[in-house]
Amino acid sequence: MKQSYATRAESDYIFNFWTSLGWTILTCGIYGFYVLYQLVRRSRDHNRRRLELLDAATAVAWERAQSEGRADELRPRFENMGIHLGVLRQMTTNFRDPVIWTVLRLLGSIVDIIVFILLDGDLVRHDAAERAAEAELAGIYGALGAQLTPPTGAPKQAHNYVARVIVTIVTIGIYFLWWTYNIMDDANRHFEENWVWEDNLRHALGG
C-alpha cells in the first residue's frame, strides 16, 4: 500500500491546460503528441495504482476482520468489494497503450476524438467502481472501529459525445480546445479528490 501512495505523483499527472496549449502552439503542434501520450498514460496508470491501493486496503481489512472474529459477519461486504475491484481489474486489459495511441495520432485529428471518447468513458466507469469500493471500505472499516470517510460529491457523468463532435465540426475545431480542457480538468479533479481520500485512509490505518 505504501508503494501506491509513493507513486501517485508519477501516475496522477496534473495538466495545466494553458501551459499545454502554449507549448503546443510554440512547437507547431508537436507538443500535442506529448499531451495525448500523457492523457492516455495517466488514465491507465492511475487505474492500476488505485486498484493496487484498494486491493491492499481490502487485504488489511480482511486480516483485521479475521483477527477480531468478524470475517463471516463482514463477508458480504468483502464479496461486494471483489465485484467493484473486478471492474477496475478488467479495465487494465483495455487497449490503452500510450505509445501506440500517440503514433496513431499521425493518422489525423479523428484519433484525438476517439481517444477523448475512450478516456471519458474510462473515467466514468473507473469513478463509479471506485466510489462503490470506497463506500464499501468505509462500512467495513467503520465496523472494525476505524473511521474512513465515504466518497463525497457527484459521480462522473459521461460527455455528450455526439453533440461535442458536431459542435467541433461546426466551429472548425475551435470547440475541440474546450473539450481538451474538459478531459484534462475532469481527471485533474478526480485525482485530487482521490488524494484526499487516500490521506484519510492512511490516517484511519494509523500510517
pLDDT digits (tens, 9 = 90+) for 61-92: 999 999 999 999 999 999 999 999 999 999 99
**DSSP-assigned letter for residue 107:** G
The residue among 121, 127, 92, 124 whose CA lies nearest residue 197 is 127
Residue 4 binned pLDDT confidence (cut-offs 50, 70, 90): confident
Residue type for position 172:
I
Q: Is 43 exposed, middle or buried (0-12, 13-18, 19+ CB in 10 A)?
A: buried
Q: How confident is the model at residue 203 (pLDDT cuts 50, 70, 90)?
A: confident
Contact 87, 50 (CB under 8 A): no
DSSP-assigned letter for residue 15: P
Quick one: 65 exposed, middle or buried, by C-beta within 10 A (0-12, 13-18, 19+)? buried
User: In the predicted model, is pLDDT for residue 135 greater than 90?
Assistant: yes
Q: 187 near 123, Cβ under 8 Å? A: yes
Report the pLDDT averaged over residues 162-168: 97
Tell me which residue range forms the domain holding 160.
2-204
57 or 207: which leads in pLDDT: 57
Taking residues 96-101, report their average pLDDT. Answer: 97
The number of folded domains in the chain is: 1
Mean pLDDT score, 2-11: 82
